[in-house]
Structure 1
Amino acid sequence: MTTPNLSQPPRKRAVISSFIFKSPDEGQKKPQVALFRRSDKVRTYRWVSMTPASRAPAQPSNNQSHHLAPISGSIDPNESPLEAAWRELSEETSLNCTSLSHWRTGKPFSFTDPSVNREWTIHPFAFRLKSTGEGGLGEKAIKIDWEHEGWQWFDPDSIVDNEEFGGVPRLHESLRRIWFEGEMNERAAEVLAAGLDRLQMDHQSGSQELTAIALGVFRDIVVQTRDGLDGDWWAMVRMAAWHLGKNGRESMGTSITNALISMLSDMDGIWQQQTSEEAKWDRILGAIDHHLSERKCRTKKIKDAFVSYLQSTFSSSDDHQQKNRLVIMTVSASSTIRDSILDAFGAIGNVKALELRVLESRPLYEGVTIASSLYSQFKSQFPTSPQNKTLEIKIYTDASAALAATDVDFLLIGADRISNTKGISNKIGSLPAILSAKHVQPSIKVLVLSDLEKVEGLNGEESQSSQEDNDPMEIVDGWNSQGVKGLPVLEDGINASKSGDSNARVQVKNIYFEWVPLALVEALVCEQGVLNKDSIRDQSLRLGGVINRYFGEL
């Protein structure tokens, strides 16, 4: 082993650590986790180098190649940690998304190993092994390569960081970051696990609704931990908040994280007050409940800002002053847009007719749902009256975006995330709709309606860059129901992709979100009015500092 040059600063290296879980067997309450025993064909350096200096031998010993470990490996340049995790799983176990589902992401952590003069950053992940009932092969799908001499299942609570257990260094530290059940009492852990499952499975609700769900779960976790208000409790509730933002629906996790950070800011200090524990609990729960009730007021502020923007736009334009018809196009399942359009229509007195053009939003057809909701809401809000307000809704296929944009005044989209560098993350189809609209209707104004919770904090811990690729059967089922010709042939190619046994394969991609550059947006309307790019950057920096304060050292 080469002696490291300690006169140089430590070299940095990022690696992934992926744990494979399987559902509890009959009679068991907890899932089991697989650990793989390193073979003697693997260079021991990879793990010896990650051993603290006090334990690092000068030369590899006989048993080091037989340590128990998760699936691990380096992160290549231009590769996200999650992409690296999937690559290593495929290379070392032959498992892919047909056999596994990404379950949880752990908070990365770093440490320096003076014995090799390196600073390691570990990115932990948890994956669930799909059973035969879920379309997988279960344990039969695991085919280890030459890097391992065997593997076995373990109770996750039995895994510890000591030499007697035989695990690689920092094994338990990596595991605990995705197996929070070992860090919390049983009741609180059950609440968090059930809450994460609910968020992960909800593909209908927008980020506002999902954030409300996450905040309710967080409140229940706090209630279930009323057995201490010490530093360990504070670290535990902060880690629970981090998991809710990261492991529910990460594509919509920005709003959840920012809302929870706001709660933690109010809770911080209360738990350290020099008063009775009963008084502290009352104040903590009161602060949480205040946030839950305050959210309802924010939606009204966004609606008021949208109304103000439309009124000023119409009053400053001669063309708009002569119009009594407002034409709006949308591609969004945003509840903020749904709740704002009719209020804005009612507030512009000289506009008597609203034509709403909605893209259907395949594969779950949220556009159809929002059109239905707006039609019903209009019938209730604007019955026959002296106002003589009329509504015409036109639903277009997603591919008809260019046709739908003709003569449109405003194109409205919501936001699931707002980045100072990437732009607006929203429902797939937003970008082609905007590009088509600006081509056929150059005068169109693209507006984003969102609250400030959607702004990503710049804190050095980036979201996974990979896209949220969802169940392709949501698309295939639609083809089945329509009796699409040639589908059986395509299904043969889809099955070939799952097995990997053919040189001709078919993949069906079902991606939910995409980025819209800020340069394509005329205005971002929020509860504080209209934001520009500088305002977004300032908000990102402020949020990044608060996020680092509460999550940085976890």
Structure 2
Amino acid sequence: MAQLAKRAVAVSFIFQFPDGDPSQKPRVALFRRSGKVNTYQHKYAPISGGVEATDATPLATAWRELAEETTLTSTSLRLFRQGKPYSFADASVGRMWTINPFSFILKSAKEGGRGEEGITIDWEHEGYKWFDPDEITDEESFQGVPRLKESLRRVWFDIDLGKDAGGVLAAGLRALQDDHASGARQLASAALEIYLDVIARLDTSDRDTWWKNVRFTAWHLWKNGRESMGAPILSVVLSSLDIIEKHLQLTTESSLSTEFIQQVCAAIKQFAQQRHQSGTKIANAFTSFLEQTFPVSPNKPLKIVTLSSSSTITASLSLILKSSASRPLDIHILESRPLFEGVSAARHLSTLIQDNNSSTITVHTDASAALASKDAHILLLGADLIDKAGNVSNKTGSLPAVLAAKHVSPGVKVVVLSEKEKVLPFDPPGHEENDSEELVRGWRGMLGPEMELQGVAVKNVYFEWVPARLVDVYLTEDGAEGTEHVEAWAREVQEKAGHLFDHL
């Protein structure tokens, strides 16, 4: 038999929800391939195309193919979900396919799109039709491409999880995506609550199917919640799956009892409680670091510059401010536009300095990073994500703050306070583009409600990267660490994820 040619493709399902309401059941568009394409002529399929070497990611492939084959762009579509990639062989066409599934929502005119009127198909298709997702099968009579339902189920998980559990997961993903106030650690806690709710609703009549579904649910929480802040979500679902797997090893039953599910959920809740202890450990590590690194007169304030509103940083500073025996702190916080998280952090900390009158707090504009950092001892960063090389993703403005501080205060220590669960061993996601209206609303407050910027693009990117070479130390629940420790944690997480997700 001839060797099969390996080919990676991106497949994109286009969904349309009634009245734009994602809580309702949608319909999905399938496109009938023309007689001019090389494979699967006249079969129903999602928009599909090969991943080229020039494509940055399979998602970039998906967007390119959508534009080429339907003329739809981000003006008319928004990303709905990504699905777990999978592979299969089709000897009839001489291919070993790797499928990267994606789904998109077709925007209505009310949402700034053109709805169905915006779809113009090219020569690769001879038409398209809308279907109820439940109507789609892999039976020959449906006339779909091979593994059509398998691709669909990876982005429309109601097929496997059921309407009840699938609805809870879908609502939970939307909540995570829309939460722009919580930090990464808080989002992980919310994801864990969603996970427990889904687990309690899954069908338990078949043990193997249940185990597959709890792993798929975990994968979706990681990849389709807030992936830019997804490292701690990955960590908590991997820990939960480890707990579940150990419980499964203790039973040989082919179906799982209500008592078993209750025991699993109780164990996961106990893990969630234990997880909260890491914040206290990091705060203690920070206190020890200050005592060892800056053994100066207790009457001389220690100048700390930070930004945004990391719960880890706030807890660490709070511990010092609450201690009557601690040295005074001179805290400078950048306001952190557009949501002014830095102002929120300052407001919280200000309630504590009444008992520590020698400490001070000053809020600065983001553009004042250099002025704020003059004579600083420490530039304190949180982390939404740390990659396997130790590079830190944090609130936009972090990199200018670090560079400015190192320029005006060459002796400054750049300190990252983070739980180990923020380490991600995989390629990090791209920049997260957020609603430009968050910026525009602030401008209208100053310039008037009718203020418009015709023909001007407004960018609202939440996170940016600080290279590991600019970080002096990572303070975690295990104390002061370096990049070699980050690399070890990353390998550990990668092995766990591979064990639990690779064969889905």
How many angstroms does 1:86 deviate by? 1.4
Asked if 2 retains the 8 angstrom alpha-carbon contact of 1:422 and 1:516, the reply is no
Q: CA contact under 8 A between 1:378 and 1:391: conserved in structure 2?
A: yes
Given candidates 450, 463, 467, the residue that maps to 2:431 is 467
What does residue 154 of structure 2 align with?
177
SS in structure 1 opposite 2:379? Answer: strand
Aligned residues of 2:17 and 2:27 also touching (Cα < 8 A): yes
Match of 1:303 among 261, 278, 283: 283
1:124 maps to 101
> How far 1:392 moved relative to its partner?
2.0
Partner residue of 1:55? none
| Cα distance in 2 for residues equivalent to 1:105 and 1:179 | 10
Preserved CA contact (<8 Å) 1:307 1:347: no
Find the partner of 2:34 among 39, 45, 52: 39
Amino acid at match of 2:351: S
Q: Which residue does 2:380 correspond to in 1?
A: 412
Measured in 2, the distance between the counterparts of 1:326 and 1:397 equals 21
Over alpha carbons, which structure has the higher Rg?
1
Deviations 1:338-365 (A, max 9, x none): 11112134559462x3221111111111
CA distance in 2, matches of 1:242, 1:199: 14
- Corresponding residue number in structure 1 for 2:457: 507
1:13 aligns with 2:7: yes
Aligned counterpart for 1:344 among listed residues 320, 324, 327: 320
Q: Does 1:147 align with 2:86?
A: no
Matched residue count? 499
Unaligned runs of 5+ in 2: none
CA separation in 2, counterparts of 1:333 and 1:91?
Answer: 42
Of 257, 274, 283, the residue aligned with 1:294 is 274
After TM superposition, the structure 1 = structure 2 runs for residues 175-214 of structure 1, keeping only pairs within 5 Å, are: 175-214=152-191
Is 322-331 or 202-211 further displaced after alignment? Answer: 322-331
* Amino acid in the other structure paired with 2:318: L
Q: 1:445, 1:233 → 2: CA distance?
A: 49
Cross-structure match for 1:104: 81
- CA distance in 2 between counterparts of 1:22 and 1:392 reads 54
SS of the residue 1:421 aligns to: coil
Residues 12 and 119, structure 1, Cα contact 8 Å, conserved in 2: yes
Are the aligned partners of 1:103 and 1:128 in contact in 2 as well (CA < 8 Å)? yes
Q: Which moved more, 1:286-295 or 1:116-125?
A: 116-125
C-alpha separation between the residues in 2 aligned to 1:357 and 1:117?
63
1:262 to 230, 239, 252: 239
**Match for residue 358 of structure 1?**
333
**Cα distance in 2, alignment partners of residues 346 and 409 from structure 1:** 21
Q: What is the 5 A alignment of 1:20-31?
A: 20-24=14-18, 29-31=24-26
> Which among 150, 156, 159 is matched to residue 133 of structure 2?
156
Secondary structure of 1:238's aligned partner: helix
Please list, as runs of the form range in 1=range in 2, the aligned pairs for 1:244-393 lying within 5 A after superposition. 244-274=221-251, 277-315=257-295, 320-321=296-297, 324-346=300-322, 349=325, 351=327, 353-379=328-354, 382=355, 389-393=357-361
Query: Partner amino acid for 2:47?
Result: I
Instruction: Give the Å deviation of 1:238.
Output: 0.7
The Cα shift of 1:332 comes to 2.7
Structure 1 residues 198, 485: CA separation in 2 closer, same or farther (over 3 Å shift)? closer
Deviation at 1:26, TM superposition (A): 10
Instruction: Tell me the distance in 2 between the aligned counterparts of 1:292 and 1:68.
Output: 45
Note if 1:424 corresponds to 2:392.
Answer: yes
Percent identical among aligned pairs is 45
Other-structure match for 2:501: 551
- What CA distance in whole angstroms lies between the structure 2 residues aligned with 1:485 and 1:399? 25
**Distance across 1 between alignment mates of 2:171 and 2:373:** 42
User: Is the 2:391–2:466 contact (alpha carbons within 8 Å) kept by the matching residues of 1?
Assistant: yes
Kindly state the Cα deviation for residue 424 of structure 1 after the two structures are TM-superposed.
0.7
Q: Determine the structure 1 residue equivalent to 2:419.
A: 451
Aligned partners of 1:26 and 1:242: how far apart in 2? 26
CA distance in 2, matches of 1:473, 1:422: 33
Query: How far did residue 113 of structure 1 move?
Result: 3.5
Task: Assess if the C-alpha contact under 8 Å between 1:334 and 1:414 holds in 2.
Answer: yes
Of residues 336-345 and 201-210 in structure 1, the stretch that sits farther from structure 2 once superposed is 336-345
Corresponding residue SS for 1:418: strand
Alignment RMSD: 2.3
- Asked if 1 retains the 8 angstrom alpha-carbon contact of 2:425 and 2:494, the reply is yes
Q: Please report how far the alpha carbon of residue 149 of structure 1 lies from its aligned counterpart in structure 2 after TM superposition.
A: 2.1
Q: 1:192 to 1:485 in 2, by over 3 A?
A: closer
Residue 311 to residue 134, structure 1, CA distance change in 2 (3 Å): same
Structure-2 change in CA distance of 1:162 and 1:537 (3 Å)? same
- Structure 1 unmatched runs, 5+: 49-63, 383-387, 494-505
Q: Does the 8 Å CA contact 1:19/1:33 hold for their aligned counterparts?
A: yes
Q: Which of 503, 522, 525 is the equivalent residue of 2:472?
A: 522
- 1:272-306: CA deviations, max 9, x gaps? 42378344223212211111211221111111111
State the SS of the aligned residue for 1:150: strand
Indicate conservation of the 8 Å contact 1:358/1:371, yes or no: yes
For residues 467 and 75 of structure 1, what CA distance do their matches in structure 2 show?
21
CA contact (8 A) 1:38 1:66 kept: yes
Q: What letter matches 1:546 in structure 2?
A: K
TM-score, length basis structure 1? 0.85
Aligned amino acid, residue 33 of structure 2: R
**Deviation of the 1:321 alpha carbon:** 3.8
